[in-house]
């Protein structure tokens, strides 16, 4: 099984400069791996990463938007899968990191059994393309092609905890981080 930070490093190599909506532990990892003004830090709204990503994808249709969601976070907003599929933003890639726990909140297990398939949920909701990866090499071999494809795209990464990254709660909750994102997005879209 791959490590989350290894998978995120692969993503950062192939997607060095675009909009990313990372939440919870993925946000801490992502901030350490790819600090960037176009990281939309929306932690504090558990379950809302997919909805925030959808809004950004619809509002910036010429920009690719990548959501780094957690399994527990997505379970709190499963209806977003149907909404995303229905609105069909061609520029949205929704990545769910499935490690089976609410990691930031104490490593409590998510309330599902092993039979749940996040890929199956996305497929049934109507995502254009659905992928699942548990091995880093397989993910790396497909990510460039996936980033070029039309969405909405759903990827489930079966991953375990990797190297620790600082938990910078001030940054992810700060008005300053949101202002930096707003300015970067404005500059990307209008200049």
Digit-coded pLDDT (tens) for 13-37: 999 999 999 987 888 999 999 999 9
Q: Which domain holds residue 55?
A: 2-184
In a domain? residue 42:
yes
In a domain? residue 79:
yes
In a domain? residue 62:
yes
Closest CA to 22 of 181, 158, 131, 186: 181
pLDDT over 90 at 119, yes or no? yes
Point out which residues pair with 157 in neighbouring strands.
Answer: 97, 133
In a domain? residue 189:
no
Q: Could you tell me if 92 and 52 are in contact, meaning their C-beta atoms sit under 8 angstroms apart?
A: no
In a domain? residue 191:
no
In a domain? residue 165:
yes
Digit-coded pLDDT (tens) for 151-164: 999 999 999 888 88
- pTM of the prediction? 0.93
**How large is the average pLDDT for residues 67-92?**
94
Question: For the chain, what is the domain count?
Answer: 1
**Would you state the pLDDT for residue 104?**
59
The CATH number of the domain holding residue 65 is 3.40.50.970
In a domain? residue 190:
no
């Amino acid at each position: 099984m791959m490590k989350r930070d290894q998978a995120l490093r692969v993503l950062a190599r192939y997607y060095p400069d675009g909009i990313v909506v990372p939440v919870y532990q993925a946000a801490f990892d992502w901030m350490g791996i790819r600090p960037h003004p176009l990281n939309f830090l929306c932690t504090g709204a558990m379950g809302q990463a997919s909805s925030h990503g959808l809004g950004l994808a619809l509002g910036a249709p010429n920009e690719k938007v990548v959501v780094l969601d957690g399994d527990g976070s997505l379970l709190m907003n499963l209806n977003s899968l149907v909404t995303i599929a229905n609105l069909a933003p061609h520029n949205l890639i929704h990545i769910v990191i499935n490690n089976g726990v609410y990691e930031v909140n104490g490593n409590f297990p998510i309330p599902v059994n092993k039979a749940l398939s996040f890929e199956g949920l996305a497929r049934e909701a109507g995502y254009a393309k659905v992928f699942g990866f548990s091995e880093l090499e397989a993910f790396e071999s497909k990510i460039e092609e996936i980033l070029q494809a039309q969405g909405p795209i759903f990827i489930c990464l079966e991953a375990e905890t990797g190297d620790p990254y600082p938990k910078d709660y001030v940054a992810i909750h700060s008005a300053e981080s949101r202002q930096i994102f707003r300015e970067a997005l404005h500059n990307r879209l209008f200049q």
